[in-house]
Each structure stands twice: as C-alpha cells, then as structure tokens.
Amino acid sequence: PYSRASQHEGQYITGMRYIMKHASAMRDKGGRYVFLIKAATSEVWWPEDADHIAFIRGRIGFELPAWFIPKDEKQVPTGAFFAGAIAVFDKTWKGPAISYIGRDELEACGEAFLAQVRQQAEKLVREMAA
C-alpha cells in the first residue's frame, strides 16, 4: 500500500492516500476497518479522521510480499523497523480517540485471536466431516 498510487479499471488499488480515503468513505456507510500502519503523522495520507489510533510502543517490521520486485534502488527493502500504529475506522467506536499499546501486548492479543480462529476452524472441519 505504500507504493505509488495505481489504478485498475478507474479505481485506485494502491497508495495510502487513496486507501485511507476509501476506508473513511466506507466507514461513513457503516463499514468497520482496522489497519496496521506506519506511525507517520507528517504524511499526507495520515488518517486524521480515524475514530481511534493506537500507537504501538516498540518498532514493527513490515515484510514485503514474496511477489514484490523493486522498480529501482529506491524501492529495495532496507529491513528497517518502523514506529507503528493501529488505525480504526468505526463510527460506533466509543473508546478514546488515541491510545498506546506495547508491542508484546499486541503480539499476545494477536496470538490469542489466532488461537480462537484455529479452534473454530478445527471445529468447523469436524462438523463438516460428520
């Protein structure tokens, strides 16, 4: 998403400015979206209108997909870790506009969620086999 903005059939499919703009528009229609983003508050795409931003204490590595081929030297990955944030677009959000979460706490929450997903997937497979 941090790549140069590009379109497919007249719709932007990359570029953070357009992704955040689309999320905001869909939020206004009742959509709920959560993004893990770089904490780059000076960027033009920074989601000022997000309902909640949780800044992550501790740096996060953003891995490139296996299919990514750098266009030039400027796009070659550095392996750098960045300050991160979680942006929530949800007009029913009742919590604070801004909060902080530690990286370890975030990873623990993610692991707990994945364990629940795996448990439900295994249950579904058993039910389908019966």
Q: Which residues of 55-67 are buried (b: 16+ CB within 10 A; e: fewer)?
A: ebeeebeeeeeee
Q: Which residues of 80-107 are buried (b: 16+ CB within 10 A; e: fewer)?
A: eeeebbbbbbbeeeeeeeeeebeeeebe
> Looking at residue 65, what is its pLDDT?
74
Tell which residue, 13, 26, 96, 23, has the closest CA to residue 37. 23
Q: Is the pLDDT of residue 58 over 80?
A: yes
> Looking at residue 95, what is its pLDDT?
95
Q: Is the pLDDT of residue 2 over 60?
A: no
Q: Is residue 127 exposed (0-12), middle (13-18) or buried (19+ Cβ within 10 Å)? A: exposed
| Cβ neighbours of 46 (radius 10 Å) | 19
Q: In a 3-state reduction of DSSP, which class is residue 18?
A: helix
Q: Give the model's confidence band at 21: pLDDT under 50 very low, under 70 low, under 90 confident, else very high.
A: very high
Q: Give the model's confidence band at 16: pLDDT under 50 very low, under 70 low, under 90 confident, else very high.
A: confident
Report, as an integer, the average pLDDT of 97-120. Answer: 96
Q: Is the pLDDT of residue 77 over 70?
A: no
Question: What type of residue sits at position 97?
Answer: A
> Looking at residue 89, what is its pLDDT?
98
Q: Is the pLDDT of residue 63 over 90?
A: no
Q: Give the model's confidence band at 81: pLDDT under 50 very low, under 70 low, under 90 confident, else very high.
A: confident
Q: How far apart are CA 81 and CA 86, in angstroms?
A: 15
> Looking at residue 14, what is its pLDDT?
73
